[in-house]
A and B are shown apart, each in its own frame.
Chain A
Amino acid sequence: MTRQLTFSQAVNEAMAISMREDADVILLGEDVAGGAAVDHLQDEEAWGGVMGVTKGLVQEFGRDRIIDTPIAEAGYVGAAVTAAATGMRPIAELMFNDFIGSCLDEVMNQGAKLRYMFGGKAKVPLTIRTMHGAGFRAAAQHSQSLYSFFTHIPGIKVVIPSTPYDAKGLLLESIFDDDLVVFFEDKTLYTMKGEVPEGSYRIPFGKADIKRSGEDVTIVAIGKMVHTALKAAGELSKNGLEAEIIDPRTLSPLDEDTILSSVEKTGRLIVVDEANPRCSAATDIAALVADKGFDYLDAPIKMVTAPHTPVPFAPSLEDLYLPTPDKIIKAVEEMTGSELVI
Chain B
Amino acid sequence: MSQTQTNQTTISKEEATWMFQKMLEIRHFEDRVHDIFGTGILPGFVHLYAGEEAIAVGLCAHLDDKDYITSTHRGHGHCIAKGCDLNGMMAEIYGRATGLCKGKGGSMHIADVEKGMLGANGIVGGGFPLAVGAGLTHKLKKTGGVAVCFFGDGANNHGTFHEGINMAAIWNLPVIFVAENNGFGEATPFHYASSCKSIADRAAGYSIPGETVDGKDVMAVHEAAKRAVERARNGEGPTLIECVTYRNYGHFEGDAQTYKGEEKVKHLDDLDAIKQFYTYLTEQDIMTEAELDQMDADVRSAVDRAVEFAETSPYPLPEQLMEDVYVSYKTDGGATQ
Contact = CB atoms under 8 A, between A and B. Distances in A.
Interface of A: 30-31, 34-41, 44, 46-47, 50, 68-75, 98-99, 101-102, 136-142, 276-278, 282, 302-305, 307-310, 312-317, 320-321, 327, 330-331, 334
A317 B154 contact: no
Interface stretch (B8-16, B209-217, B317-325): B317-325
Nearest to A324: B337
Interface in B121-142: 121-125
B103 A276 contact: no
Contacts of B105: 139-140, 313
Given A31-B188, A35-B188, A36-B192, A71 B325 contact: no
A37 B122 contact: no
B321 A312 contact: yes
Given A142-B122, A317-B321, A31 B187 contact: yes
B235 interface: no
A304 B95 contact: no
A309 B331 CA distance: 8
B185 interface: yes
Q: Which 3 A-B pairs have the closest CB atoms?
A: A277-B334, A34-B187, A141-B122
B299 interface: no
Nearest to B93: A313
B315 A142 contact: no
B3 to A, nearest CB: 25
A70 B194 contact: yes
Contacts of B192: 36-38, 68
A35 B95 CA distance: 33
Contacts of B187: 31, 34-35, 46-47
Q: Taking each of B45, B158, B259, B317, which has the highest tally of chain A beta carbons within 10 Å of its own beta carbon?
A: B259
B44 A139 contact: yes
Q: Taking each of B123, B154, B188, B332, which has the highest tally of chain A beta carbons within 10 Å of its own beta carbon?
A: B188
Given A71-B185, A138-B44, A141-B109, A317 B335 contact: no
Contact of A309 (B102, B193, B259, B321): B321
Q: Taking each of A35, A314, A334, which has the highest tally of chain B beta carbons within 10 Å of its own beta carbon?
A: A314
Nearest to A48: B187
Main secondary structure of the interface of A (DSSP, over half): loop
A24 B188 CA distance: 25
Interface string B147-162: 0000000110111100
Given A37-B192, A138-B44, A309-B321, A71 B122 contact: no
A335 to B, nearest CB: 10
Contacts of B332: 308
A271 to B, nearest CB: 9
Contact of B95 (A39, A50, A141, A313): A313
A155 B267 CA distance: 51
Nearest to B152: A71
23 contacts: A34-B186, A34-B259, A37-B191, A39-B261, A68-B188, A71-B124, A71-B193, A136-B44, A139-B44, A139-B109, A141-B108, A141-B122, A142-B122, A277-B334, A303-B335, A307-B322, A309-B331, A313-B44, A313-B104, A313-B106, A315-B43, A320-B337, A327-B336
Nearest to A331: B336
Contacts of B83: none
Contacts of B45: 137-138, 142
Contacts of B104: 140, 312-314, 317
Given A304-B335, A308-B333, A74 B258 contact: no
Q: Taking each of B104, B109, B186, B335, which has the highest tally of chain A beta carbons within 10 Å of its own beta carbon?
A: B335
A308 B259 contact: no
B186 A47 contact: yes
B189 interface: yes
B334 A307 contact: yes
B247 interface: no
Contacts of A40: 261
Contacts of B333: 277, 307-309
B337 A71 contact: no
Given A71-B124, A72-B158, A139-B106, A313 B43 contact: yes
B320 to A, nearest CB: 6
A70 B154 contact: yes
Contacts of A137: 43-45, 95, 106
A102 B123 contact: yes
B331 A307 contact: yes
Given A70-B193, A139-B109, A302-B336, A36 B321 contact: no
Interface string B89-127: 000000111000111111111000000000001111100
A140 B95 CA distance: 13
Contacts of B102: 314
Interface string B177-208: 00000000111110111100000000000000
A46 B188 CA distance: 9
A73 B104 CA distance: 27
A99 B192 CA distance: 22
A309 B160 CA distance: 27
A75 B159 contact: yes
